[in-house]
Amino acid sequence: MSSKEDEENFTNIFNKIMDRSKHSKEKTDGLLFEKTFASMDRLKHSEVQPKLVRTGELSANVFLKKSLMTQREDGERLKKLSHSLNETLKAIDAMENDLEVYEFMEPLIKSMDSKINGQLKFNQELLSKVALQSNGEPLSPLCNEFTMPYLLIKCISILKDKFRSPDVAISLFELSKEQSLKTFIFLCVIGVYNQMLQLYWDSFKSIAKVNSLITEMKVNGIQGNHETTRVLRSISKECHTMLNYDDDKFFFTLENGVEAWAPMWNKNDEQELKSVDDYIADLYVYLEQVYSQ
């Protein structure tokens, strides 16, 4: 078979997969394909690979500040941000395809380093400024260390659940990690990692990918929260069911589709699952200690 035929076959297969992403315009397929695989190619061929950032290299004050924020405080903050960013969030919800989401978020991520102000305070004055900008220009929101993580979580969620485009979500996630150390600290928060844990499992059914992300979190000092335990417990339960082969829904049929096809399990997968279960147990202990104080 000629290389041209190979290329045509690959393109046809890829387009069939991408049809599930609900693209409204045919031309977006090629553009999105180019953007996504350009990102993957950079990761593969770059001389300086995106590396895990050791917590010892980071500011201890930053992590102390993050660890002191309780889940309740974080929830209240997100609720207030959601209200202030309402018009921007509605604009994201109204986007017609995953390319629109990518092109909205990409420049914001790349510009974040210059927008971070370690002295910025979360108060009503800030929320008013965020709301004013969002109401006036929904697609040009105020970019800072408070709004950006929320917007990234929103975009990953839309890509994962609405457009079923894990490749594009992963591209945004990797792009966030490729930026400066400062951007990584403030942007790649636990809410983002929770979304990615769910995405890696839902999209690839690979416990190894999930465990790899957990390792990345531990190395970089990103502490899990109650949402992390909820996500991982659900994944673990599904894994054990698949491992025991006691649920027909995990086998490939015309009705179930490819997404429900159980992968081939081996001893390595069992060890990966054990590591995930151990992490869940340790996280439970940690959260009990934190919230009992």
Q: How many residues are present in the chain?
A: 293
pLDDT of residue 14: 47
At position 253, the amino acid (one-letter code) is: T
Q: Give the pLDDT of residue 44.
A: 42
Confidence grade of residue 73 (pLDDT, cut at 50, 70, 90): confident
Residue spans of the domains in the chain: they are 60-188, 194-293
What is the number of alpha carbons within 13 Å of residue 94 lying toward its C-beta?
A: 8
Average pLDDT, the chain: 79
Considering only CA atoms, give the Rg of the chain.
Answer: 20
At 145, the pLDDT band (50, 70, 90 cuts) reads very high
**pLDDT for the residue 292:** 74
pLDDT of residue 243: 76
Q: How many angstroms separate the CA atoms of 129 and 6, rounded?
A: 53
Quick: pLDDT tens for 118-128: 789 999 999 99
> What pLDDT score was predicted for residue 290?
82
Q: What are 172-226's pLDDT values in tens digits?
A: 999 999 999 999 999 999 999 999 999 999 999 899 999 999 999 999 999 999 9
Is the Cα torsion angle 253, 256, 257, 261 positive or negative in sign? Answer: negative
Q: Quick one: tokens of 94?
A: 């109204």
In this prediction, residue 64 has a pLDDT band, given cuts at 50, 70 and 90, of very low
Instruction: List all residues 6 or more positions away from 277 whose beta carbon is below 8 Å from its beta carbon.
Output: 236
pLDDT confidence band for 76 (50 / 70 / 90): confident
Per-residue pLDDT of 249-292, as tens digits, reads 555 455 545 454 555 677 899 999 999 999 999 999 999 888 77
DSSP state of 180: -
pLDDT given at position 31: 52
- With 0.95 as the threshold, say if the pTM is over it: no
Q: Which long-range contacts (CB under 8 A, 24 or more apart) does 280-287 make?
A: 280/229, 280/232, 280/233, 280/236, 283/224, 283/228, 283/229, 283/232, 284/229, 286/223, 286/224, 287/224, 287/225, 287/226, 287/229
More confident call, 257 vs 90: 90
Cα–Cα distance measured from residue 187 to residue 213, given in angstroms and rounded to the nearest whole number = 16
* Alpha helices (H) along the chain: 3-18, 27-45, 60-67, 71-84, 86-93, 98-115, 124-136, 147-161, 166-178, 181-187, 190-204, 207-219, 226-244, 267-292
Counting Cα atoms < 13 Å in the Cβ hemisphere of 238 gives: 20
Q: What is the pLDDT of residue 48?
A: 35
Angle, alpha carbons 280-286-292 (nearest 5°) = 130
Q: Two tokens at 40?
A: 């993957």
The one-letter amino acid code at 233 reads R
Average confidence (pLDDT) over 144-163: 96
Q: Report CA dihedral (198, 199, 204, 208) to the nearest 10 degrees.
A: -50
**Residue 158 CB coordination number (10 Å):** 21
Give the residue from 209, 172, 221 showing the smallest Cα distance to 62.
221
The CA distance from 291 to 293, in Å, is: 5
The Cα–Cα gap between 12 and 22 comes to 16
Residue 104, pLDDT > 90, answer yes
- Residue 16: pLDDT band (50, 70, 90) is very low
For 159-183, what is each residue's pLDDT tens digit? Answer: 999 999 999 999 999 999 999 999 9
Pick the more confident residue, 228 or 55: 228
Tokens encoding 64: 């102390």
- Rounded to 10 deg, the angle between the 147-161 and 166-178 helix axes is 160
**pLDDT range class, residue 46, cuts 50, 70, 90:** very low
225-239 average pLDDT score: 95
